[in-house]
Amino acid sequence: MTTWLITGASSGLGRALTERVLAAGHQVVATARNTDALNDLRAAYPETALITSLDVTDPSSIDAAVARVEERWTGIDVLVNNAGYGYTAAVEEGEDEAVARLFATNFFGPVALIKAALPGMRGRGNGLIVNISSVGARITIPGGGYYSAAKAALEGLSGSLRKEVGPLGLRVMVVEPGSFRTDFRGRSADRSSVQIEAYDQVLGRTGDSALSPQRGAPEKAAAAILQAAEDAEPPKLLVLGSDALGGFRAAADDAARDVDRFEQLSRSTDAAS
């Protein structure tokens, strides 16, 4: 039995993963800003579900949540940084305060949780950090620049972190979901109040374009994450959804074409031997 701490557990992928991990017999610290939606899990799993309020942008809230885990159980075996939300704006339309809030939740919050969980994981010589990113970090759709940037920052940090803690017995896995049937486009989405007409058509504000269908089933994503986490060698990157796979490969091919095309120019900058 392992102990998981999952942020943003009240809805969407976080809720589905919490249910799946509990059903598999593990202990779960399910966190959210408002925990009312988690009361049913508290009743259903009184011995293995610890429901606690957590604001990932509040350091004291993070410290209190980690302390509760250590009081009840030995510590966190699997940390899942899932809490986050979207923000739609052309780069020129981005509002400074809104962008700062976005990064506080989607990037600096996970960083703070990682730093809070690492001492215990290092002490036990075992642990897994799962950072929920998005294929948006890779395909960088118009209007999603700030969200993509926050997720790309989380992925960059994860890569370095993996190399730092790997020799200590710890593992780091990034999850890149595509579009799933959650409230990401509703309650979990924010939009800039600034709208510049020049961007209306490219951002689909004229009705000329439609959002891609939400193909993914959260419960299937939860099962996939649990399976990957329990693997003897969890993947560095877990892509979820056929749309995410297509986006990942298209972005990789597009980047490779430019690298190949300008290979000689790239090599020309080496100092003469």
Cβ atoms of 172 and 238 closer than 8 Å: no
| Mean per-residue pLDDT, 110-131 | 97
Percentage of the residues of the chain whose pLDDT score is greater than 90: 88
Q: Measured between alpha carbons, how far is 205 from 44 in angstroms, rounded to an integer?
A: 44
Confidence band (pLDDT; 50, 70, 90) for 212? Answer: low
Q: Which two tokens stand for residue 79?
A: 């940390």
What are the φ and ψ backbone dihedral angles of 180, each rounded to 5 degrees? -115, 160
Active-site position among 45, 87, 146, 147: 147
Local confidence band at 267 (pLDDT 50, 70, 90 cut-offs): very high
- pTM for this one? 0.93
Q: Is 133 a catalytic residue?
A: yes
Catalytic residue among 146, 151, 158, 179: 151
Average pLDDT over residues 165-194: 84
Is 220 among the catalytic positions? Answer: no
Nearest partner of 131 among 233, 30, 24, 237, judged by Cα: 237
Instruction: State pLDDT tens for residues 19-65.
Output: 999 999 999 999 999 999 999 999 999 999 999 999 999 999 999 99
- Is 87 considered catalytic here? no
Q: Quick check: 215 and 174 in contact, CB under 8 A?
A: no
Of 47-51, 120-124, 187-191, 263-267, which gets the smallest average pLDDT? 187-191
* Tokens read off for 15: 């809720």
